[in-house]
A and B are shown apart, each in its own frame.
Chain A
């Protein structure tokens, strides 16, 4: 077993770490306060090759592996999970096309992301279908050679800034559940597409989360990603590959919490000594470090498996659920280590706590991960 990074990976991590330190950390608090979309930061990240990292080389991408991606993403999320999520948004939008798109689609839509620093969005969730993807109501009606999409998508990361969307809709009746679900790539300027209200969120406030509304949006076969009725499978395969990214966000948040707490605990005095001398604080720090390390190993394992072509949904869910739950616990303890100061906007730990909560909710709640894990466990034989 070899846990060492290649020289390329080491360089990627160093680049991301420098970018985080110089460009992200100084502005993260302000972007959070005002809910400002990190457009310029993402443009700068694009310039140095930190956006869209998993896009294949054929379309001008870097063709990095999931493992490379999570190593880089941990660094960005150390600075701000809202910016991290914005960057994930593009990779997530691209994934269905990478997995099921035609060469032509890859060239056109993925090429747009590598040609210029623009955004894309993955549009799957609906007001009444979050965890339950197969419960979606967006309808796809076939009229001659055309597909007509009508529906409302919610919680769409990057919706307001995206040039195109990967949209999931249903051919057939809601009772068909996952059977009729179909994926399309839809340009932002297609007639009938509009962006609705923006969510005012607890955390990750720099990331844009808005509704996408589809009113009789007319598409052709050229927009169809994969085959009719294969959308549910595409969505699930996308999540299998994206869940290790969320574990990377968890690692970033936890490592930041640990660094901040370590520094503060050594400085802050109570009862005549640094609070780091108290066992209660020491044990909290030890617990944080263990959770970080364990999440990182689950993240590396799931990512490594994907790279080996041995993708296993259960491993991605382990990393995502354990990472998200750990990040929440660690960020909560970080506020505790800081005491009253931790509750104020003067220090970064209250933001870590708000940001961490989303990790347990998006891309499949912690409960959905447990369903995936249990279902896979129970289906195993022998």
Chain B
């Protein structure tokens, strides 16, 4: 475990980062919570495609709804390093609960905190950062996944209201959320400069939930398509200015990717720990398989990649805490952590052999859950685009 990690930040060389007492305490609390509440139930939630509402509530009681949101706005008043540590530990117990929390923290609370007025924060942040309500994020559309600039959902101003029409899909938390940070086009001619964000109550007339998605993994995290039919939203619920939406979306994803990187590491850690324990007890050729070099080297690669991923993630988080632009670092963390998690989960199944392919153990779930981390909040290809653009600029 990393308690003291030396690494360099762009403007200060060889800075020593040490976890504060508070960060360590949160991490340990989350780990204990994951072992007690999540690990024993995650398999069942996955099998039954059940959203564990009660357990998410309990996680919120630990301050996990708005970890880095100031206490005056209902949050836990901690920082993004603490947030990343928490999401890793939670995801180690259940990746679906991990992403439920990550979406509420990073994709919902964060943009409202950063771009909302005090009035908006009062109604749209406080109850969500305190865990009374749950938020979601509506950017992706059927034809606009990686290419977020292809938005077709429109918002037309009518007096002190906007009328919204369109479709969003793969909306994590969508079926159970109370509000959505929603991206629309207020001016189709302007491309990315025509995108405008809103915060919308999910009970607004014209907000139409479609059936829940059937997915390969994270089956306890409900996501869905949402139609908007002449949905009227007060102009007062517009987040930021008209045309500011793309900037809001991209800066939000810079934070969200830290959460997904942490989720990936959590999935990887769970797979690694199970593989290590199994290798000690499973025997072939008269010895525990942990004594075969092929298995030893797999375990060595797994933990090395996870440690590297964690360093990248905590670095991105600490840059965010320092108020330094961190798009490239978040993308690096998300890209590396997600790919590492997939390699680790794949090896964990392999170490378990036939047992790893069976739904009796948790590793096959980790294998399925890991796959999404390379897809959502920007595919690995999009992360490479962000990183290479930053390099070549």
A: which residues have CB within 8 A of B? Answer: 125, 128-132, 134-135, 154-155, 199-203, 269-271, 278, 280-281, 328, 332, 335-336, 339-340, 342-346, 350, 353-354, 357-358, 360-362, 365-367, 370
- Contact partner of A345 among B140, B149, B214, CB < 8 A? B214
A339-B375, A367-B294 in contact; A135/B286 too (CB < 8 A)? yes
Q: Which residues of B contact A128 (CB under 8 A)?
A: 283
Q: Which residues of A contact B285 (CB under 8 A)?
A: 132, 134-135
A–B complex contacts, Cβ < 8 Å, 12 sampled: A131-B353, A134-B285, A135-B286, A201-B357, A202-B359, A270-B147, A271-B149, A340-B145, A343-B372, A345-B215, A360-B350, A362-B354
Output the nearest chain A residue to B284 by Cβ-Cβ distance.
Answer: A132
Q: Which residues of A contact B371 (CB under 8 A)?
A: 332, 335, 343, 353
Complex Cα gap A270–B143 (Å): 8
Q: Which residues of A contact B213 (CB under 8 A)?
A: 344
Q: Which residues of B contact A132 (CB under 8 A)?
A: 283-285
**Contact A202 B216, beta carbon cutoff 8 Å:** no
B: which residues have CB within 8 A of A? Answer: 140, 143, 145-147, 149-150, 169-170, 213-217, 283-286, 294, 342, 346, 349-350, 353-354, 356-360, 364, 367-368, 371-372, 374-376, 379-381, 384
A343-B216, A345-B215, A353-B371 in contact; A358/B140 too (CB < 8 A)? no
Q: Which residues of B contact A271 (CB under 8 A)?
A: 147, 149
Q: Which residues of A contact B342 (CB under 8 A)?
A: 332
**Contact B375 A336, beta carbon cutoff 8 Å:** yes
**Contact B147 A361, beta carbon cutoff 8 Å:** no
Q: Which residues of B contact A361 (CB under 8 A)?
A: 349-350, 353-354, 356-357
The 4 closest A-B pairs by CB, nearest first: A132-B284, A270-B147, A200-B359, A345-B214
**Contact B357 A270, beta carbon cutoff 8 Å:** no
Complex Cα gap A115–B26 (Å): 68
Output the nearest chain A residue to B149 by Cβ-Cβ distance.
Answer: A271
Complex Cα gap A203–B354 (Å): 12
Complex Cα gap A60–B313 (Å): 64
A124 CB, min distance to chain B CBs, angstroms: 12
Q: Which residues of A contact B384 (CB under 8 A)?
A: 280
Instruction: Determine the main DSSP class of A at the interface with B.
Output: mixed
Complex Cα gap A45–B29 (Å): 57
Q: Which residues of B contact A281 (CB under 8 A)?
A: 381
A339-B145, A360-B350 in contact; A131/B214 too (CB < 8 A)? no
**Contact A357 B215, beta carbon cutoff 8 Å:** no
A135-B283, A332-B342 in contact; A339/B146 too (CB < 8 A)? yes
B256 CB, min distance to chain A CBs, angstroms: 15
B152 CB, min distance to chain A CBs, angstroms: 12
Output the nearest chain B residue to A199 by Cβ-Cβ distance.
Answer: B358
B268 CB, min distance to chain A CBs, angstroms: 16
- Contact partner of B145 among A154, A270, A367, CB < 8 A? A270
Output the nearest chain B residue to A338 by Cβ-Cβ distance.
Answer: B375
A339-B146, A340-B140, A345-B216 in contact; A202/B284 too (CB < 8 A)? no
A235 CB, min distance to chain B CBs, angstroms: 15
Complex Cα gap A248–B68 (Å): 52
**Contact A342 B356, beta carbon cutoff 8 Å:** no
Complex Cα gap A269–B350 (Å): 36
Output the nearest chain A residue to B360 by Cβ-Cβ distance.
Answer: A200
Q: Which residues of B contact A201 (CB under 8 A)?
A: 357-359
Name 5 extra pairs, CB < 8 A, besides A200-B358, A340-B169. Answer: A135-B284, A155-B354, A270-B145, A271-B149, A365-B353
Q: Which residues of B contact A135 (CB under 8 A)?
A: 283-286
- Contact partner of B350 among A335, A336, A366, CB < 8 A? A366
Complex Cα gap A154–B353 (Å): 12
Output the nearest chain A residue to B295 by Cβ-Cβ distance.
Answer: A367
Q: Which residues of A contact B354 (CB under 8 A)?
A: 125, 130, 154-155, 361-362
**Contact A202 B350, beta carbon cutoff 8 Å:** no
- Contact partner of B374 among A278, A336, A366, CB < 8 A? A336
**Contact B284 A131, beta carbon cutoff 8 Å:** yes
B214 CB, min distance to chain A CBs, angstroms: 4
Q: Which residues of A contact B372 (CB under 8 A)?
A: 343
A193 CB, min distance to chain B CBs, angstroms: 21
B178 CB, min distance to chain A CBs, angstroms: 24
- Contact partner of A343 among B140, B149, B217, B294, CB < 8 A? B217
Q: Which residues of B contact A357 (CB under 8 A)?
A: 346, 349, 357, 367
**Contact A336 B368, beta carbon cutoff 8 Å:** no
Complex Cα gap A353–B371 (Å): 10
Q: Which residues of A contact B284 (CB under 8 A)?
A: 129-132, 135
A260 CB, min distance to chain B CBs, angstroms: 15
Output the nearest chain B residue to A358 by Cβ-Cβ distance.
Answer: B357
Looking at B294, B346, B357, B359, the one whose CB has the most chain A CB atoms below 10 A away is B357
Complex Cα gap A367–B375 (Å): 29
B57 CB, min distance to chain A CBs, angstroms: 27
Q: Which residues of B contact A367 (CB under 8 A)?
A: 294, 350
Complex Cα gap A125–B170 (Å): 42
B341 CB, min distance to chain A CBs, angstroms: 13
Q: Which residues of B contact A328 (CB under 8 A)?
A: 346
Q: Which residues of A contact B380 (CB under 8 A)?
A: 336
Output the nearest chain B residue to A367 by Cβ-Cβ distance.
Answer: B294
Q: Which residues of A contact B349 (CB under 8 A)?
A: 202, 357, 361
Q: Which residues of B contact A278 (CB under 8 A)?
A: 381
Output the nearest chain B residue to A271 by Cβ-Cβ distance.
Answer: B147
- Contact partner of A340 among B170, B346, B353, CB < 8 A? B170
**Contact A202 B357, beta carbon cutoff 8 Å:** yes
Complex Cα gap A271–B381 (Å): 13
